[in-house]
Structure 1
Amino acid sequence: MIEKKQKFLAGWEIYFENIETAIAFLKTHGVDKEGFMFFKEAQKALEFEIEGNKLIKGYKHHNDIKELVWENVNLPISDWTDHKVFLMEKDPKGTHRIGGSIPQKLILPKHSELSAKFQYIGTLDCTDPYFNWINMNELHIVFPVNECYGGVYLDYSNPLKPQLIEDLTDPDDWYESIDEGIQTEYSQVNFKTTNVLDVSKFNQREALLCGVPLWYQFPHVPKCPISNEPMRFICSIESDKDIRAVNNERNEILIFEDMGHLMLFYNPVTKILFANVEH
């Protein structure tokens, strides 16, 4: 007898006609009931009734509205991991930090066609149980804030010397920078992880989303260029008016394009990170 089960997904934009992107969505956006409740209030979420690899009924939820969207659809995979949704909220005693001085031994990436320098964005404490799957003590986040909005792949084989994978970064996608050669330092704000999923804090940019991505544009789950598998989501770093440049008047605050957010994905086996701006 085929087992019946209920599965939940964060977000709603899945198109079964495209098998590759559908598989990436399922593998990245599977959540437990708590994550489902958060996403259906913060944005939208899906509830699936499944038998084997058949989607018997698929519902889209937004707040208290429940809409039947699919019936009797063949799924490209029959099971996937349910990821834990959690937040990072501002806390002076938190072990994660956005902004602050560049760690002494960290060497920032460079590229001959890049106008703006890579900037130090912050550091995640990967001894935190929520992030220990990353398999390094600290993840130093770097990104050329005024360029490469389409994303960059970085090799973290040496956590203190991340290397830009140049042949996977399209220079035509890069924006002309007004801050050529400037190394910006941002004021430091500390964060702590929490499993209390406070939608109002998230909406007010007082907390960063971790575990499962929330897309404002069409979902684009990156594939690891080595394993060819969908990469695991780490967190989103928001543009933040409280994180101010301390040595660059033109960059008054930490801002990604038009108050967007920096999305981070990682493969702990290949040690490849993908970072891109979404808004």
Structure 2
Amino acid sequence: MIFWNSESRFLAGWEIDFDNTEELKKILLTQGVNKDGFHYFSSLQTATELIIRKHRIVKVIQHSEGRQSEEIVAVDLPIEHWPDRALFFLLKDSAGKHRIGGGCPSDFILPTHEKLKTPFVFIGTLDTSDEHFAWINLPRLDIAYPLYECNSGIFLDYSKPLTPVIINPQTFESAWYDGSIAVTDQVTFQEQRFKAVDKLNSLGDQHMLCGVPLWYQAPDIPVCPKTGALMQYVCTINSDSAIGVEDKNGIEDLPFGNYLTFGDYGRLYVFYQPDSKVVYLRIQF
């Protein structure tokens, strides 16, 4: 069926609940992507093309590795405007501004709470002098995460960015707890530098995705618990067997291997809300 006077807009991913107005709004604002991003997602996973006519979605086309499927729908748009976001990437580069691993900065205090059985571990730092991350409005973004403890997503208050505070300690549970890892132990990973680039030479390039998230489970787009504002995606940090352990601090064997890994070789999703200075961290694998 041809729809005259229509336009195409693109979304990264395919898990979209068109019957849930609030969730659809979050998807449009977070997963809306430009044409280059559409091609990236349709090559690696699935991307969605929306055919829009008179402020209504009239057709949904899912594109995946050269295949496509279509569905005629009639869904009113919950918002009129949303951005077509551009992807960018973090590539390994010894001269890069950003780093994963290395020692925790001496002035950064790792979050802690009495509900934690295992410690937060320093993951890395994003240098916000890079124009790609200037919107974060902090001098730098230090990222730490409790690698060896279950949680359903962590909100951290970065109002004082050197001493972030856990907002939702009820998120922690002990399902992964290994008694060999005490709260006072700290693991240090080998340092790897990264640079931000707007284009990849090849999809085979090892890279960390920025701009728009690629979900490996259902989308989990957070809302700031302090303000109710939608949080903005920062980046995805990948597990990486090439980033080994610099110092295990006396721990003989780490639960998931002696290298940087998020659960069963998963990914850490990082979101930020610049007005409230709240960070959200969640892994998927």
**What band does the TM-score fall into relative to the shorter chain?**
over 0.9
2-structure distance, mates of 1:46, 1:171: 34
2-structure distance, mates of 1:76, 1:173: 40
For residue 73 of structure 2, give the secondary structure of its aligned residue in structure 1: strand
For residue 183 of structure 1, give the secondary structure of its aligned residue in structure 2: coil
User: Per-residue CA shift, 1:229-259, capped at 9, x if unaligned?
Assistant: 3211111111111111122142310111000
CA shift, 1:174, in A, is 5.9
Check conservation: 2:111, 2:165, Cα contact below 8 A.
Answer: yes
Check conservation: 2:150, 2:173, Cα contact below 8 A.
Answer: no
Q: Residue type of the partner of 1:134?
A: I
Distance 1:130 1:174, change over 3 A: farther
Distance 1:45 1:139, change over 3 A: same
User: Per-residue CA shift, 1:161-213, capped at 9, x if unaligned?
Assistant: 1111145x423476324422310111000001111144222xxxx21011111
1-structure distance, mates of 2:81, 2:54: 9
Q: Residue type of the partner of 2:212?
A: V
Quick check: 189-198 or 174-183, which moved more?
Answer: 174-183
Matches within 5 A, 1:247-258: 247-248=247-248, 249-251=252-254, 252-258=258-264
CA shift, 1:32, in A, is 0.6
Quick check: 172-181 or 88-97, which moved more?
Answer: 172-181
Residue equivalent to 1:140: 142
CA shift, 1:136, in A, is 1.4
Distance 1:227 1:56, change over 3 A: same
For residue 246 of structure 2, give the secondary structure of its aligned residue in structure 1: coil
For residue 7 of structure 1, give the secondary structure of its aligned residue in structure 2: strand
Question: CA RMSD, aligned part only?
Answer: 1.7
The answer as to 2:268 corresponding to 1:265 is: no
User: Per-residue CA shift, 1:63-108, capped at 9, x if unaligned?
Assistant: 2112112433222223211222111011111110000011111111
1-structure distance, mates of 2:153, 2:178: 15
Structure 1, unaligned runs of 5 or more:
none
Check conservation: 1:150, 1:173, Cα contact below 8 A.
Answer: no
Residue equivalent to 1:20: 22
2-structure distance, mates of 1:199, 1:51: 34
Residue equivalent to 1:86: 88
CA shift, 1:42, in A, is 1.2
Q: Residue type of the partner of 1:257?
A: G
Quick check: 67-76 or 83-92, which moved more?
Answer: 67-76
Check conservation: 1:55, 1:71, Cα contact below 8 A.
Answer: yes
Check conservation: 1:16, 1:75, Cα contact below 8 A.
Answer: no
For residue 131 of structure 2, give the secondary structure of its aligned residue in structure 1: coil
Q: How many residues align?
A: 273
Matches within 5 A, 1:1-279: 4-166=6-168, 169-172=170-173, 175-178=176-179, 179-181=181-183, 182-197=185-200, 198-201=202-205, 206-248=206-248, 249-251=252-254, 252-279=258-285
1-structure distance, mates of 2:46, 2:219: 13
Structure 2, unaligned runs of 5 or more:
none
TM-score by length of 1: 0.93
Percentage identity across aligned positions?
Answer: 38
For residue 35 of structure 1, give the secondary structure of its aligned residue in structure 2: helix
Check conservation: 2:12, 2:47, Cα contact below 8 A.
Answer: yes
